[in-house]
Structure 1
Amino acid sequence: MYRQIKHSEYSKEILEQLQRGAFLTVKSGDKVNTMTIGWGALSVIWGKPVFTVLVRKSRYTYEIIEESHEFTVSLPIKGQLKEALGFCGSKSGRNTDKFKECNLTLKDGQKVNVPVIDECDIQIECKIVYKQDMDENCLDADIKSRAYAKGDYHTIYYGEIVSIYIKE
């Protein structure tokens, strides 16, 4: 059973888990994919609770998120799913059914047309309110050399949090 929470109620747990990994899930038509993310931001922008994610254009997730304009973030804050996070961060959904390979259960989102991963503790459902391609000329040189040596920059998606809930 899930209980609705405020975006700030578990912000510490969300941000700590994000550094260890979370699942970014997207859906368009019959295409569903998840990928592991370790970067993101929980914030308030334009008077709205927002979760920001970054997706490289080379990723299968990018193709789907561009079609759907929604996403979910599922966080296993009790330390579970380490192997699934590793797998989903190293395999492409173009040619691998990550949900089947990792025995992950999809559950319909409450307010978006994107599922959440039911084995996770906290679910964040978002509708994209803004996106922007990174401008390499505006990027710190150290970050550019460490994270973008191959020039594969991210698109940044700002998702208004329309529902956030925790498993009880």
Structure 2
Amino acid sequence: MGKVSYPSGYYVRFSPPSPVVLVTCISRDGRANIITIGMYMPISFDPPLLAIGVSPKRYSHSLIEETGEFVVNVPGRDLVDAAVLCGSVSGRVVDKFKEAKLTAIPASKVKPPLIAECIAHFECRVYDK
């Protein structure tokens, strides 16, 4: 069987699925935002590191660049509609916590809040970019 060449964007069809996560970030003046991320991955156990990708065009990218912190919140199936909403509108103009009816609660290690309705949370600082 010979090799088959595919267009460059086709690689995502061969990538294993990853759970959707809701990443929270915050501006220096305390305005929190949520971005829906379709893929994250653990990349190291010691030190514990995980990777996310956020386009530089996104509002959340500028917030994470500004503060160097974010939280990866793992939603349950009951938050599908909230995840869709948070991935469909810009936090520049919409308060996603209010629109998605999600509850921000303080994190213990970083400034961005946790999402109370999520089942797990990873408090993160930018290690490398």
TM-score normalised by L of structure 1: 0.63
Identity over aligned pairs, percent: 36
1:101-148: CA deviations, max 9, x gaps?
Answer: 1110001111111111000000100111111xxxxxxxxxxxxxxxxx
Q: Displacement, 1:31?
A: 2.3
Maintained 8 Å contact 1:25/1:116: yes
Residue equivalent to 1:130: 128
Contact 2:22 2:83 in 1 (8 A): yes
Cα drift, residue 20 of structure 1:
4.2
Q: Which residue of 2 aligns with 1:143?
A: none
Q: CA deviation at 1:39?
A: 1.4
**Secondary structure, aligned partner of 2:54:** strand
Q: 5+ residue gaps in structure 1?
A: 1-15, 132-168
Cα distance in structure 1, aligned partners of 2:82 and 2:20:
10
Map of 2:27 onto structure 1: 28
Shift of 1:19: 2.8
Whether contact under 8 Å (2:19, 2:39) holds in the other structure is no
Q: Which has the higher contact order (CA 8 A, sep 6+)?
A: 1
**Contact preservation (8 Å) 1:31, 1:64:** no
The residue type paired with residue 54 of structure 2 is V
2:5 matched to which residue of 1? none
Give 2:66's aligned residue. 67
Q: Could you tell me how far 1:63 is from its partner in structure 2?
A: 1.1
What SS does structure 2 have at the residue aligned with 1:101? helix
Q: How many residues align?
A: 113
Report the Cα distance in structure 2 between the residues aligned to 1:31 and 1:64, rounded to whole angstroms: 9
Amino acid at match of 1:118: A
Could you tell me how far apart the structure 1 residues matched to 2:59 and 2:90 are?
A: 7
1:42 aligns with 2:42: yes
Q: What is the aligned partner in structure 2 of residue 118 from structure 1?
A: 116
Give the CA deviation at 1:76: 1.6
How does 1:136-147 map onto structure 2 within 5 Å? Answer: none
State the shift of 1:56 in Å.
Answer: 0.4
Distance 2:18 2:127 in 1: 24
Q: Secondary structure at the match of 1:44?
A: strand
Aligned to 1:87: 85
The amino acid that maps onto 1:50 is L
Q: Aligned equivalents of 1:19 and 1:128: distance in 2?
A: 21
Q: Match for residue 97 of structure 2?
A: 99
